[in-house]
Chain A
Amino acid sequence: AQSVAQPEDQVNVAEGNPLTVKCTYSVSGNPYLFWYVQYPNRGLQFLLKYITGDNLVKGSYGFEAEFNKSQTSFHLKKPSALVSDSALYFCAVRERMDSSYKLIFGSGTRLLVRP
């Protein structure tokens, strides 16, 4: 079965500093990986995905993620954090089911950007 792990419950960073939210994956075959963000009491918003191609994927709101096959990682990054980036971030991998696919989510990492 596919799985993703987010080793950090919370990441704290000062505004203007670079941020990294970590994700590692365990899959058989080629992974389809995703990052989502969730603001309080809201649904998940798509940030970016990796399917194939360039290892550096650019997404919404200035976020990017680097796919590293040798380290089985897909860390989310942003060069300069904003206070408004404070939210809950989820890494996910797509898994095949009988007649469809589903997303398997990590446990989430809370990002706190302080002014």
Chain B
Amino acid sequence: SQTIHQWPATLVQPVGSPLSLECTVEGTSNPNLYWYRQAAGRGLQLLFYSVGIGQISSEVPQNLSASRPQDRQFILSSKKLLLSDSGFYLCAWKGTGVGYTFGSGTRLTVV
């Protein structure tokens, strides 16, 4: 079966520290992968998407970057976190059908 894993579930980081959030999918190959951010428990904003290894597209300019070192691995990173990076980060994948599956999310608090 197809599953998506995201970790960690929660993270508290000081301003200026680095960030690495990981997302992996199982049971599928060559998925389209996405990173969304949800601020203030409401709307979701697409940050990055990837259609294949090493292929990253950014939707909005920001303090974050993404990488896809393996087919089923998608990483969200930052060299120096800002307070405004706090939020709920969601990874998602789209398979060959129309549907999208979301991970369980990471709650990031920058202090």
Contact = CB atoms under 8 A, between A and B. Distances in A.
Does A associate with B in a complex?
A: yes
Interface stretch (A12-20, A64-72, A100-108): A100-108
A46 B93 CA distance: 12
Interface string B45-59: 010010100000101
Contacts of B101: 46
Contacts of B99: 46, 49
A-side interface size class: 20 to 34
A40 to B, nearest CB: 9
Nearest to A108: B42
Most buried by B among A88, A97, A107: A97
A41 interface: yes
Interface residues of B, number: 25
B104 interface: yes
B41 A103 contact: no
B94 A105 contact: no
A63 interface: no
Interface string A20-38: 0000000000001010100
A51 B43 contact: no
Contact of B32 (A34, A36, A51, A100): A100
B66 interface: no
B105 A100 contact: no
Interface of A: 32, 34, 36, 41-46, 49, 51, 88, 90, 94, 97-103, 105-108
Given A36-B102, A43-B105, A49-B99, 9 more contacts: A41-B107, A43-B103, A44-B90, A51-B98, A90-B44, A97-B49, A100-B32, A102-B46, A102-B59
Interface of B: 6, 32, 34, 41-44, 46, 49, 51, 57, 59, 88, 90, 92, 94, 98-105, 107
5 contacts: A41-B107, A44-B44, A100-B49, A102-B46, A106-B43
